[in-house]
Amino acid sequence: MIVITAPTGNIGRRLLSLLVEHGEELRVVVRDPARLPEAVRERVEVITGSHGDAATVERAFAGADAVFWLVPPDASTTPEETFSGFTRPAARAFATHSVGHSVGHVVGVSALGRSTPQAAQAGLVTASLAMDDLIAGSGVAYRALTCPSFFENLLEEADSIRENGVFTDTVAADRPAPLVAVADIAAAAAKLLLDRSWTGVGGVPVLGPQDLSPNDLARIMSEELGRPVRYRRQSLDELRSTLLGYGLNAAFVEGVVDMKRAKDQGLDAGVDRSPQPGATGFARWCAETLRPAVLATPEAADAR
């Protein structure tokens, strides 16, 4: 039995689809079962609730062999509460069930940067690494999928790219860094969950096929979209003001700002790049995912 948390999110729904196709016995933890595709609901056991709730995870982990763990970001709390606070009930349940030889393997989604000097002051990334330590301390075999920024973050820029030909971030325009498609993260999780011959604690970098700078992204987007796209570097102060204007928790906002600062200082560069066979290239992702979002009519874009 494999338990999947956050099964309706970008990564979880792709992972769920892969494991359903493989014929695995599955259990999902979801707040709103109606968000699951009907065909999927018929093939999985559903536990309704939040996987940050102690009673819910106790029910979900009973008799389970492995768990996919993903913390949904919560901008109303502090980074520590978002990651470790949310995860503590699950870590206690992992410890309980591992003694009874139930949950033996956990695969989680985390971040790059543990080996870098920036890791101690990297905001949300620092909090995510602390979550990894919490899970590892429960006694289960644990693999953290250590990920850079996602291609899918650019979907938030689709309107700006459509209307102004501009996307923004806070890193230097010529700083190359790894980026990854969420589909590749789901595939890496599926591989680990289906072959649980691994033991101990470790990280598995999921990096995408090549490092790219914002200037590289602008060039590839221009080619794939058939229209000029340029990068605008946003200051950290501007980012902070924008996020606070949305009413987000001030500590969470500082966690985002600290993460962005650390990335500009090389946080994601602290891992040896190994071949990533089958990884989704950025040009392919643009053609398949970004292009339809950017070229959608304003009415269709509003309906997303």
Structural domain contains residue 220: yes
Tell me, yes or no, whether 140 and 222 share the same domain.
no
CA–CA distance, 261 with 255 (Å, rounded to integer)? 10
Structural domain contains residue 159: no
Q: Which domain holds residue 23?
A: 2-149+181-205
Predicted structure pTM score = 0.93
Structural domain contains residue 156: no
What is the model's pLDDT at position 292? 96
What is the model's pLDDT at position 298? 58
CA distances from 63 to 96, 98, 186 (A): 12, 11, 23
What is the model's pLDDT at position 37? 87
Structural domain contains residue 166: no
CATH (domain of 251) = 3.90.25
* Tens-level pLDDT at each residue, the chain (304 residues): 999 999 999 999 999 999 998 888 999 999 999 999 888 888 999 999 999 999 999 999 998 999 999 999 899 999 999 999 999 999 999 987 655 557 899 999 999 999 999 999 999 999 999 999 999 999 999 999 999 999 999 999 999 999 999 999 999 999 999 999 999 999 999 999 999 999 999 999 999 999 999 999 999 999 999 999 999 999 999 999 999 999 999 999 999 999 999 999 999 987 877 777 789 999 999 999 999 999 986 554 454 4
Tell me, yes or no, whether 93 and 239 share the same domain.
no
Tell me, yes or no, whether 196 and 266 share the same domain.
no
Contact between 98 and 132 (Cβ < 8 Å): no
What is the model's pLDDT at position 71? 96
Tell me, yes or no, whether 61 and 193 share the same domain.
yes
Tell me, yes or no, whether 201 and 216 share the same domain.
no
Q: In this structure, how many other beta carbons lie within 10 angstroms of the beta carbon of residue 32? A: 8
What is the model's pLDDT at position 99? 52
What's the structural domain count of the chain?
A: 2
What is the model's pLDDT at position 301? 47
CA–CA distance, 234 with 191 (Å, rounded to integer)? 38
Tell me, yes or no, whether 194 and 49 share the same domain.
yes
Structural domain contains residue 163: no
Tell me, yes or no, whether 20 and 132 share the same domain.
yes
Structural domain contains residue 171: no
User: In 3D, which of 62, 137, 142 has the Cα closest to residue 102?
Assistant: 62
Structural domain contains residue 70: yes
- Contacts for 271 with CB less than 8 Å, ≥ 6 apart: 112, 115, 146, 178, 205, 207
CATH (domain of 7) = 3.40.50.720
Tell me, yes or no, whether 61 and 138 share the same domain.
yes
The amino acid occupying position 214 is P
As a 3-state breakdown, the chain gives helix, strand, coil percent values, each rounded to 5, of 50, 15, 35
What is the model's pLDDT at position 300? 46
